[in-house]
Structure 1
């Protein structure tokens, strides 16, 4: 898959417009459902953002009950016909994680009003949460060129970076068991369990799409290099990137998207934040754009996290490569989804469906980080 830096809608690839819900029908369903939980509710217009995600669906709506107005968000699990990105969407588990984080840290997560496991109201399980205002670093086009992030000053981005690291450090103080997660004895055990789950995800993805020789080579590498980390497993956000943070005055106002939360090593979150920025930086380089090479640098994040948490991150070559492997499986699934919806054609080489193929190859060869120094 090639990257077209001049495209304005490439983020819409694999985003199935014909699977989006009818706002009027959603309003009716929410009105009926909410009436069973609060007295005499009135649901306002439902808004479905154009930038809706490719995993669970986001619905914005206002409601009034008990004389008060409430600005709300519903996250709805996708139906199978929408060719979901992930095989399972446990929104009830997400609610438990978010409540545990809210109860024990100062991380600004949305207040979860309800978690509905019965699909009858909207056709799928859903969460209803409070809505938080703020700016999100965009994915389309990437925030590291032509966005409010790239237009900010170095000092403002330094504030974003420091506070994002603080979010990670706080999340990692939460007991995974308190969040309802199974917790392996050590971080090393958690890493190996997580790799096994990712291998299962890859096998699920390839049931309806092509297999990737690169990803399969990467799994062999992971098995050979997985660290035996004796530290305790911690709660990991799972999708730890600044694109999942709402910022107000360059500080976190809301921390979103907890569907990949798990028990793991601290470095899993840190490496995900590092890699996702590098993913966008490599796009900028390909497009001949300056990007933000001084932002979210690996060594800076590592040092800041150690200072904030008291834990010196280890095995970052492994963990950033593992992040690249996880993202490769997601990219393979998204590209397969695009083929399903007729938005692209199946290439002869399935590895070309992975946008960061060259990055992953260089990480497996041990040359990626050396080339950046």
Structure 2
């Protein structure tokens, strides 16, 4: 899902009082960080407890620049890690100490990675909280039973315990190994299990069937690398939600948090390697846009369905999203968003090229091969739509501006807007005519999604300062693009 929004809706399920739920109170939480200049703060914590009340893990809502940026997963550490002030520590650790105290150790986005240095003096803050969290059930028996129905010739099927990918991935995506024994063979599949959200998310619906269709259709062309879809189950009766199973693609995706412009393999790469990554990404996107959208849409992708106008489906969707899903009332005034919507309707380009669009286009949704940093796969197709291909280009640029904003600047080799347009024109063989319009459009819809998620969190009782609803990156970017004052 999109940047920090992916973290928020996927990691922060609605809290419900259910049978078997354990209530625990840990009156003192200590956040330790390896720098006194900790720009991100912890605002709320959910704990998971076992049958005997023991601490099993935690998730913490992290705030930076007055915006909710992530819900961070923690795991259990031994007392030696917590009490040994200069030991090597993971990025996020939680430990149940003596006297009922728990400690969350967390490295701020600007601090040096503990993989490269030892932890120095720590700052400490205290948070009071009480939370109710239900333990996650083991889904393996149900998954194995379902797989038997999909692989009738298997004599035995085993699934390893699902685990989350590295930091920055959503909790509805898990990795596991599927072992399939047949009469004379054993097949081991490194698999990705992607489930629909189990709680309210940032969209009215979540269509895994659409994602599977797009990946299969695009993959069959051989023109754009995408994950291989192995199985799709749209019946929620198996695991509680629809899900699909894909084959793992070896590669790394630039992280949203911490921003890839500030830390990680993109930050550490040479200028030439970063230029190579951008060029490869733009070439893959241009190849996608060159495919026959009528054939690939199949009446499934929005814009290819009966009765839809493919030239307007994207604008119609996002204006309706603001009116019907984000606003408390259709007549509610939302300052910058209303101005942007009016601009987008008024300045709608008369002449538009149509293609299958990726939708959530950003570097964080690209897997790059570990050694060469070639594009290994384009991932996250939940927002695929028929539309103007320039929308993907603008989305890529806006997402990178966000990473630059969080990092305080861009690394060399990162293209400017003009350079990005030139790369695309070279790769596609055609002109980019309405990039400014689509940059407003990308900022509008990403900002609307951010606002929807923030309102959902506030309805669930998560404390979010009122100023954050008016002073944040997409809204400030819209003001800049439209020449509006504020916040």
Aligned-pair CA distance for 1:257: 0.1
Q: Which residue, 208, 211, 214 being the options, matches 1:91?
A: 208
Residue 127 of structure 2 is matched in structure 1 by: none
Residue 359 of structure 1 is matched in structure 2 by: 477
Aligned-pair CA distance for 1:59: 1.6
Q: Is 2:315 the counterpart of 1:195?
A: yes
Q: Which moves more between the two structures, 111-120 or 354-363?
A: 354-363
More helix by share: 1
Aligned-pair CA distance for 1:21: 8.8
Aligned-pair CA distance for 1:78: 1.1
Q: Is 2:187 the counterpart of 1:72?
A: no
Kept in 1, the 8 Å contact 2:266–2:274? The answer is yes
Mapping of residues 215-294 of structure 1, within 5 Å: 215-231=337-353, 233-248=354-369, 249-284=372-407, 289-292=408-411, 294=413
Kept in 2, the 8 Å contact 1:71–1:131? The answer is yes
Aligned-pair CA distance for 1:230: 4.3
Kept in 1, the 8 Å contact 2:352–2:388? The answer is no
Q: Is 2:424 the counterpart of 1:308?
A: no
Kept in 2, the 8 Å contact 1:41–1:64? The answer is yes
Where 2:312 maps in the other structure, the secondary structure is helix
Q: Is 2:145 the counterpart of 1:25?
A: no
Residue 371 of structure 1 is matched in structure 2 by: none
Structure possessing the higher relative contact order (Cα contacts under 8 Å, 6 or more residues apart):
1
Residue 370 of structure 1 is matched in structure 2 by: none
Kept in 2, the 8 Å contact 1:34–1:41? The answer is yes
Distance 1:273 1:230, change over 3 A: closer
Distance 1:308 1:200, change over 3 A: same
For 1:265-301, what per-residue CA distance to the aligned partner results, in whole angstroms no more than 9, with x for missing partners? 11011111011111222333xxxx3432650321111
Q: Which residue, 111, 136, 139 being the options, matches 2:256?
A: 139
Distance (whole Å) between structure 2 residues aligned to residue 19 and residue 128 of structure 1: 31
Distance (whole Å) between structure 2 residues aligned to residue 321 and residue 35 of structure 1: 49
Q: Which structure has the bigger radius of gyration?
A: 2
TM normalised by structure 2 equals 0.66
Residue 57 of structure 1 is matched in structure 2 by: 172
Distance (whole Å) between structure 1 residues aligned to residue 304 and residue 350 of structure 2: 13
For 1:317-352, what per-residue CA distance to the aligned partner results, in whole angstroms no more than 9, with x for missing partners? 101111000110111022123323433335167433
Distance 1:342 1:318, change over 3 A: same
* Gap regions ≥5 residues in structure 2: 1-36, 42-61, 74-130
Residue 326 of structure 2 is matched in structure 1 by: 205
Distance 1:92 1:21, change over 3 A: farther
For 1:152-176, what per-residue CA distance to the aligned partner results, in whole angstroms no more than 9, with x for missing partners? 1110001001000011011112222
Moved over 6 A (4+): 16-21
Q: Which residue, 37, 44, 47 being the options, matches 2:163?
A: 47
Q: How many residues align?
A: 352
- The alignment yields a C-alpha RMSD, in angstroms, of 2.9
Distance (whole Å) between structure 1 residues aligned to residue 302 and residue 257 of structure 2: 35
Q: Which moves more between the two structures, 199-208 or 139-148?
A: 199-208
Aligned-pair CA distance for 1:106: 3.0
More strand by share: 2
Q: Is 2:450 the counterpart of 1:331?
A: yes
Where 2:149 maps in the other structure, the secondary structure is coil
